[in-house]
Amino acid sequence: MNTRNKSLFFLCFILILTLVQSNLTFASGNKQWIEKAPTPTARQDSGSAAVNGIIYVIGGHDGKSVTNTVEAYNPSTNTWETKAPMPTSRYRLGVVELDNKIYAIGGTDNETNIKNVEVYDPTTDSWEKKADLPAGRGALSVVSLNGKIYAIGGMDTTGNSTATTFEYDPISNKWTSKAGLSIGRIHGAAAVANGKIYFFGGIEPNSQASFSQRMEEYNPVTNVWASKASLPTGRYGVRATTLNNRIFAVGGYNYNADPGGYLKTVEEYDPILNTWETKENLKTGRSVFSIATVNGKVYVMGGKNTSILSSTEVYSTPSEEISSPSKLTAIPSNKRVDLNWAGINVDALYNIKRSEKSDGPYTTIANSVTGTTYRDINVINGTTYYYVVTAITPEGESNNSNEASATPQNDSPSNPEPSGDHAILTITLSNGIEKEFDLSIEEVNAFLNWYDAKDAGTGPAKYAIDKHNNNKGPFAKRTEYVIFDKILTFEVSEYTAK
């Protein structure tokens, strides 16, 4: 190969490498784990599921006792709300969503691993009992697929690990035994992708130090479990969820993999390629916690480290997690609209956006506004305007606030031209004080012109009024200044001087 061809080859290689690296960077973005509002109740071994964008954390152990507490997290407002408690207090339970209802399955009460199954309806904030599991199970894993619920593995009433798989049909309200795992496990994790169930991790029988790496795939059509690529980091108390048809194995416990035992490790499984990939670590290592995926984001809540946790983390990009302004209102008046909103913090700046159609598209009419108020004077009376506000922080721009609309118009009667040659101008100030001025019609018209111009956003803030015959003392002339913002109302009573 000659020198020229070598140079061309080298340049092509560098270009291809650059493109590959760029694609990898684009694909991964800058996602990371970001802290959110903590759970009101710190607890471990709770269960969780999401319905209509709200995450429900159910049951668990608070370090002193088993609980039946139910708390709901709204990711859009980053707030928690307490819901109706579960009838049966328990921890190490399985929790799963099916048909917009949440099933609490098995678990451990104060004495043993139980069969109880109860279903929660978020619409009515109420619970209902369903058919028990065929056998008591604690530290089990549950998933829903094709209208059925599957309860996998776990610990029986004697404390031994099991390999069982039970299938629940909500229509018949019955459980059926299905093919079991290759080996029993407790505190494993299960998730669904591409019509299959995947189970991994946990503790295997007769070995409390066995941090399982086994990965098995269940086909509900053939009722067969098959071995898949091993979990890179064996662990128990690991949690699983599905994001973009890939399975996340999050956290867990393994003192061989981490000196403290409680892992920050996150690994992602591709069911198509049967491969694992390491992802960004959690901020706080944890085991036996709650997990859910909502709107393309993974949330982890509570769990156990050296203490019982209440912290919440979301796997997202920083710009997506900027709080949006809220409670935007738009108040119309003559040739203007006044906006007010609740800000996100004292340092944030705001962009004001407007449209003449609900839901936009919006045009930015003001950038980097300080404070939480804005007056839009570039409006036409009788036209309806739709507004949103976004927050600007070092991390980027937030999503839009709620939309507020207003139609500016002159609701007060127009100021008529006085018919006489004089008038009494009575001005009521915002503090309730009234001022009277005996003026010529020319002086009254000058005042009206100043007021209308200032009301439209132009002109000086104060206006000088000659007090004329109201002068007292040795003064040649006395002038009173009125401030636009202090005027509440005014009245013109014209007359003809004789």
What distance in Å separates the CA atoms of residue 255 and residue 280, rounded to the nearest whole number? Answer: 20
- Give residue 259's pLDDT: 78
Burial of 32 (0-12, 13-18, 19+ CB in 10 A): middle
- Give residue 470's pLDDT: 61
3-state secondary structure at position 54: strand
What distance in Å separates the CA atoms of residue 18 and residue 158, rounded to the nearest whole number? Answer: 58
- Give residue 433's pLDDT: 87
Query: Tokens 């009301």 correspond to what residue?
Result: 455
3-state secondary structure at position 468: helix
Q: Edge to edge, what strands does the sheet with 239-243 contain?
A: 239-243, 246-250, 266-270, 275-278
Burial of 191 (0-12, 13-18, 19+ CB in 10 A): buried
- Give residue 66's pLDDT: 98
Q: Where are the beta strands (DSSP E) in 42-188?
A: 47-51, 54-58, 70-74, 79-82, 94-98, 101-105, 117-121, 126-130, 141-145, 148-152, 165-169, 174-178
- Give residue 413's pLDDT: 52
**Residue 346 CB partners (closer than 8 Å, separation 6+):** none
What distance in Å separates the CA atoms of residue 167 and residue 145, rounded to the nearest whole number? Answer: 10
First to last CA, the chain: 113
- Give residue 20's pLDDT: 38
Taking the chain (498 residues) in runs of 10, the rounded mean pLDDT of each run is: 46 41 42 94 98 97 97 91 98 98 97 96 98 98 98 95 97 98 96 98 78 97 98 97 97 88 97 97 97 96 97 87 89 92 89 95 94 93 96 84 94 55 87 87 88 84 83 71 87 80
List, in order of start, the domains of the chain with CATH numbers: 29-320 (2.120.10.80), 322-406 (2.60.40.10), 422-495 (no CATH)
3-state secondary structure at position 397: strand
